[in-house]
């Protein structure tokens, strides 16, 4: 077993997190709901900011699919078109919704002066690929088409998400390139799931990790794509894409103690090789989802650095 050197503040909290069995979607959802309820009972309040207005609405889904729920975070002083952020949440394709990355959305709206649109896409296994990817692509197109109504400058839209949301962000970027769809100013990939083949060193060495281990990742892919997969679309597993040219500038975050670490780093290197500007941060001592899950100095630094990258791309 590899000796792990964790950031002390990260490990102190990570060790207390119960394990979610990602092979059981219903059970994992129920456990997550129980965790959230327990935190609320202990007095952990939902983050809020008086400067940000939150609203929800339904938008048309892909052809033949249900409408999509979105949440819009709007700075109260927004009068003229400005930067926008389309958030695609994490949760291993099977968990979560608009609340799971609420802190990131709220912070980008408040500190990045962004109108943030968070997308509640369909979940697997009830809705396997391509449901989530098509929902997210459709939502991005809707944001661009309604940019004036949202007070968003369509030339300053950034997309992003963590884990499965990072997968969907990368997949949507490939779809937009290939379909002649919207161009975005930056894609922000936070510890993304990118490669269903699960062959990297960090995957092979990731059996004893906090929060998310290699078995979890394998189970998530099985839920999203099924167990028997010979020809997998790069829109489902972006690491399978042969050509990464013409994709948006990329901000990549990886975590040292995360089975997804290496596929994120390798994808970043391949993007660079195809002429895509990339900023890559690998945070030592951290675990999957550390920036949103665990208050700590390194998490605070990661959040501030991501906001700075957003502002550089979308605000100037």
The first and second tokens of residue 175, run together, are: 């779809």
Please tell me the distance from the alpha carbon of residue 97 to that of residue 131, in angstroms, as a whole number. Answer: 15
**Pairing relation of β-strands 82-88 and 115-120?**
parallel
Nearest-CA neighbor of 187 among 277, 305, 94? 277
Check: CB of residue 234 under 8 Å from CB of residue 172: no
H helix or E strand, kind and range, residue 157? strand 152-162
Classify the phi-psi angles of 285: left when phi > 0, otherwise alpha if psi is within -120 to 50, otherwise beta. Answer: left
Please tell me the distance from the alpha carbon of residue 195 to that of residue 13, in angstroms, as a whole number. Answer: 28
How many CA atoms are closer than 13 Å to the CA of 238, on its beta-carbon side? 30
Residue 288 bears catalytic tag: yes
Residue 274 bears catalytic tag: no
Catalytic residue among 196, 219, 258, 291: 258
Neighbours of 243 (CB within 10 A): 12
Classify the phi-psi angles of 235: left when phi > 0, otherwise alpha if psi is within -120 to 50, otherwise beta. Answer: alpha
The first and second tokens of residue 272, run together, are: 């660079």
The first and second tokens of residue 114, run together, are: 């962004």
* DSSP bridge pairs for 188: 160, 251
Considering all CA atoms of the chain, what is the largest pairwise distance in Å, rounded to the nearest integer?
56
Catalytic residue among 288, 291, 296, 306: 288
Catalytic residue among 7, 135, 163, 214: 163
State the catalytic residues.
163, 258, 288
């Amino acid at each position: 077993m590899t000796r792990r050197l964790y950031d002390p503040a990260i490990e102190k909290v990570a060790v207390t997190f119960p394990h979610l069995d990602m092979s059981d979607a219903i059970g994992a959802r129920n456990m997550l709901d129980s965790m959230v309820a327990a935190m609320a009972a202990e007095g952990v309040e939902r983050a809020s900011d008086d400067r940000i207005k939150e609203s929800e609405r339904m938008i048309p889904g892909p052809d033949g699919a249900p409408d999509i729920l979105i949440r819009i975070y709007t700075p109260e002083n927004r009068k003229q078109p400005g930067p926008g952020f389309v958030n695609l949440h994490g949760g291993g394709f099977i968990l979560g919704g608009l609340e799971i990355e609420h802190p990131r959305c709220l912070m980008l709206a408040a500190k990045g002066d962004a109108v943030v649109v968070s997308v509640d896409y369909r979940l697997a296994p009830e809705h396997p690929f391509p449901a989530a990817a098509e929902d997210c692509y459709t939502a991005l197109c809707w944001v661009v088409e309604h940019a004036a109504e949202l007070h968003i400058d369509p030339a300053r839209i950034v997309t992003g998400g963590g884990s499965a949301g990072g997968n969907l962000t990368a997949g949507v970027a490939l779809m937009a390139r290939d379909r002649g769809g919207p161009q975005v100013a930056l894609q922000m990939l936070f510890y993304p799931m990118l490669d269903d083949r699960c062959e990297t060193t960090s995957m092979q060495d990731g059996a004893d990790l906090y929060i998310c281990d290699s078995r979890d990742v394998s189970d998530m892919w099985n839920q999203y794509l099924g167990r028997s997969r010979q020809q997998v679309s790069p829109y489902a597993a972006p690491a399978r894409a042969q050509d990464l040219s013409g994709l948006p500038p990329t901000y990549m975050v990886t975590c040292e103690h995360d089975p997804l670490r290496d596929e994120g780093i390798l994808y970043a290197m391949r993007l660079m090789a195809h002429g895509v500007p990339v900023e890559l941060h690998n945070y030592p001592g951290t675990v999957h989802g550390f920036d949103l899950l665990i208050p700590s100095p390194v998490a605070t630094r990661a959040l501030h650095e991501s906001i700075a990258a957003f502002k550089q791309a979308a605000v100037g």
